[in-house]
Amino acid sequence: MIKDIRRKCVSGYLALVILPVLLVVDGWLLFQAIVAENVMWAIFVVVVGIILIVCLGGFFMVHPNQSRVLTLFGSYVGTAHETGLRWANPFYAKKAVSLRVRNFDCDTLKVNDSSGNPIEIAAVVVWKVVDSAEAVFEVDDYISFVEIQSEAAVRNLATSYPYESHGEGEVALRSNPQQIAEQLKMEVQNRLEKAGVEVIEARISHLAYAQEIASAMLRRQQAQAIVAARRQIVDGAVGMVKLALDELKEQNVIELDDERKAAMISNLLVVLCGEENARPVLNTGSLYS
């Protein structure tokens, strides 16, 4: 595996001053050789001039949050990270690699969750290159590699968890977003580590049942919500009835036998648990008539 090797390059501003001066000097020497009719010296000066002209091709620019991977005839020689105008061997191939933070918005995928239900899922992956040499040499196209491997990780994550939990403590895609995000980040990082890429964040951006079962699942969710609400209402009503009976007993307001307690409990539960407003009925007779 090829690892990033930092290579210091000559300041381009210094080379920008020296090379033109050398070219001027070389031109003056060529003129002197021609005047003196010294053929060998003239040939030597011309060769030096050609070399200086070739050296002008060694200039390159490194922008902030960018690196340049340097290769010489197919061999990796290092990576330039210093920003600004730089100069290196003109025969170096200088490939620019961006080190900026990037977003990849995964397309909406249709997969089956661990329960076999078809769902739609999409994710956003925030990443950046941390090893330029690995990104260039270990994979063919690191940007395409990030996209394909991220989608594969999202698919694998979706098939490993249910859409919603069906038991206490069960991890689900909808009910445990933070835990799912951490798991997705870990899985994407494991796939992209060989390409010199660091995953900063990975989160699910879209999650829903597929259209063919969305209406049925919506009705099930509504039924579960109604049952949960009814359970809470009943628990509260029972507590209020118990409190009312305890208060009546402690303050000696009235003594009720079991039959009248049952009737009172029934009436209170109807009032507290009913969906419509209760309509009171006045009893002008005695308690037992």
Q: Residue 22 pLDDT more than 80?
A: yes
Residues 60 and 94 sit within 8 Å (Cβ to Cβ): yes
Backbone angles phi, psi at 72, to 5 degrees: -120, 105
DSSP 3-state percent helix, strand, coil across the chain (nearest 5): 50, 20, 30
The model's confidence at residue 219, banded by pLDDT at 50, 70 and 90, is low
Give the 3-state DSSP-derived string for 162-230, with helices as H, strands as E and coil as C: CCCCCCCCCCCCCCCHHHHHHHHHHHHHHHHHHHCEEEEEEEEEEEEECHHHHHHHHHHHHHHHHHHHH
- Predicted local distance difference test score (pLDDT) of residue 198: 92
Question: 101 to each of 4, 129, 152, 206, 271, how far by Cα in Å?
Answer: 18, 8, 21, 22, 61
Q: What is the mean pLDDT of residues 77-90?
A: 90
Q: What is the mean pLDDT of residues 115-138?
A: 89
Q: Residue 66 pLDDT more than 70?
A: yes
How far is it, in rounded angstroms, from Cα 157 to Cα 180? 8
Residue 31 amino acid letter: F
- Predicted local distance difference test score (pLDDT) of residue 209: 79
19, two tokens = 């090379």
Average pLDDT, the chain: 82
In CATH, what class is 102-209? alpha beta
Tens-place pLDDT, residues 163-179: 877 666 678 888 888 88
Q: What is the DSSP letter of 2?
A: P
Question: 133 to each of 5, 72, 104, 232, how far by Cα in Å?
Answer: 8, 14, 21, 60
